[in-house]
Amino acid sequence: MAFEGLADRLQNTIKKITGKGKVSEADVKEMTREVRLALLEADVNFKVVKDLIGRIKERAIGQEVMESLTPGQQVIKVVKEELSDLMGGEQSKIAVSDRPPTVIMMVGLQGAGKTTTTGKLANYLRKKQNRSPLLVACDIYRPAAIKQLETLGAQLDMPVFSMGTDVKPAEIVQEALKEAKANHNDYVLIDTAGRLHIDEELMGELQEVREVAKPEEIFLVVDAMTGQDAVNVAESFNEQLDVTGVVLTKLDGDTRGGAALSIKAVTGKPIKFAGMGEKLDALEPFHPERMASRILGMGDVLTLIEKAQSNIDEKQAKELEEKMRNMSFTFDDFLEQMSQVKKMGPLEDLMSMIPGAGKIKGLKNAQIDERQLSHIEAIIQSMTKQERIDPNIINASRRKRIAVGSGTSVSQVNRLIKQFNDMKKMMKQMTNMTKGKKGKGFKL
């Protein structure tokens, strides 16, 4: 998970101060020293760290903390607010033009994730805001890039405008805008060319595109894994093009977090979105406050709820609840439930959104084995329809057959059936418990 090292260190540091009824100046100094080291180790820009620590110290040693009833917690609140402000404070939204189409120009170095992000953003605009974007392929140097965008467009069932590799990008944009107007596309997303390094020619071309496109937004796509390099790239692009926002990709990877924490402070431009994976729905609006909360181990319940809401079908959830209530929950339902949870993303990421999950002994380092989940799926899929509905009929020979069919062992099959039965027992108890409120007693 991203930020892991930083989160660990910061959480250890603040743990020492949390419960303190009295916080001395020496305590604050000790804490800020450790926070400083943790941030530097996470590759946060040196100057950014210096300023941040200055602000935390000033506030934590000041009246705000010293005279409060819960000084320890007050210090942590200060740290969280400052981290959040560092990343931009409020979440910033995408601009909307009052004369559609709204034009968004995507820029960035090759390999940063520009084309993928263009697809993800189009998907986001349609799914979350009911928009109909037109994608425009302007990387005339790499035919593969045009093809890549066309493939994404086909996957999303969205139009892609391209004119091959012989027409200048500014001209392509001019034609694309006409097309968008004619087809009533309300957003135009322009995927521009990237290079391995920043060069003048590229910047000149991007400026020409900007002249013609008059974009409401210029999103710079940077790779979080490249740390301080990402910040330097952002600085140069911003100087030349005056970008309006940053999309930080590959935050699902093992990044130390330095880029996320430095970009806004160094460039003055907010991070608008975070790329959290290769799939087309792996793009999240960037919420500085929630991110600060996650880094400090306070969880991010809001994002978790939003993920659940957008991935779990409410009608199905209601039906499931009903089945639990009347005890008709089967292995098929179990499978369905698993696939809904899986849609929410890697389990490890979900865990980091639960407040305090990192502190639960054993849980933090427990490898959540996604392979085990696929074994469970395979076992259930090897059962007959009748077996899934009524596991009681699964005798020894059936267990053997299921194990062979799913490529697992009989003991794995046994374990799953036992877990399923235990789960049903628990559901029964819970239903009794709620019934109990109305008069019946609850006995374990």
Is position 25 an interface residue for ligand GDP (rule: CB under 6 A)?
A: no
CB nearer to ligand GDP: give 57 or 114: 114
Q: Does 4 bind ligand GDP (CB under 6 A)?
A: no
Of 148 and 412, CB closest to ligand GDP: 148
Q: What's the rounded Cα separation, in Å, for the pair 174 and 35?
A: 50
Spell out the alpha helix ranges (H) of 62-168: 63-66, 71-86, 114-129, 143-156
Q: Does 116 bind ligand GDP (CB under 6 A)?
A: yes
Determine, following the binding rule CB under 6 A, whether residue 345 of this chain makes contact with ligand GDP.
Answer: no
Among residues 70, 91, 97, 110, the one that binds ligand GDP under rule CB under 6 A: 110
113 binds ligand GDP, rule: CB under 6 A: yes
| Per-residue burial over 385-413, b = 16 or more CB atoms within 10 Å of its CB, e = otherwise | eebbeebeebeeebbebbbeebebeeebb
> HSE-up of 280 (CA within 13 Å, CB side)?
19
Phi (first) and psi of residue 192, to 5 degrees: -95, 175
Asked if residue 114 binds ligand GDP (CB under 6 A), the reply is yes
Q: Looking at 133, 153, 258, 277, which residue binds ligand GDP (CB under 6 A)?
A: 277
Residues 6+ apart with CB under 8 A from 237: 107, 108, 198, 220, 243
Q: How far is the CB of 41 from ligand GDP (least distance, A)?
A: 23
Of 395, 412, 294, which Cα lies nearest the Cα of 354? 294
Given 11, 115, 226, 293, the residue binding ligand GDP (CB under 6 A): 115
Cβ atoms of residues 7 and 296 within 8 Å = yes
Find, among 297, 299, 101, 111, the residue nearest to 182 by Cα: 101
Kindly write out the interface string for residues 200-239 of this chain, putting x where it contacts ligand GDP by CB under 6 A and - elsewhere.
Answer: ----------------------------------------
By CB neighbour count within 10 A (0-12 exposed, 13-18 middle, 19+ buried), where does 159 fall?
middle
Three-state DSSP class for 411? helix
Nearest approach in angstroms of CB 189 to ligand GDP is 13
Q: Is the dihedral of CA 204, 206, 211, 212 positive or negative?
A: positive
- Binding segment for ligand GDP (CB under 6 A), chosen from 22-30, 210-218, 276-284, 310-318, is 276-284
Q: Name the binding residues for GTP.
A: 108-115, 191-195, 249-252
- Indicate whether 250 belongs to the interface with ligand GDP (CB under 6 A): yes
Task: Choose the stretch contacting ligand GDP; rule: CB under 6 A; options: 15-23, 79-87, 111-119, 384-392.
Answer: 111-119
Under the binding rule (CB under 6 A), the answer on residue 275 touching ligand GDP is yes
Query: With contacts defined by CB under 6 A, how many residues of the chain interact with ligand GDP?
Result: 18
Among 74, 84, 185, 249, binds ligand GDP (CB under 6 A): 249
Query: Which of 25, 254, 278, 422 contacts ligand GDP by CB under 6 A?
Result: 278
What would the 3-class secondary structure string for 300-334 be?
CHHHHHHHHHHHCCHHHHHHHHHHHHCCCCCHHHH
Report the 10 Å Cβ neighbour count for 325: 15
Nearer to ligand GDP, 38 or 138 (CB): 138
The footprint of ligand GDP (CB under 6 A) covers: 108, 110-116, 194, 249-250, 252-253, 275-278, 282
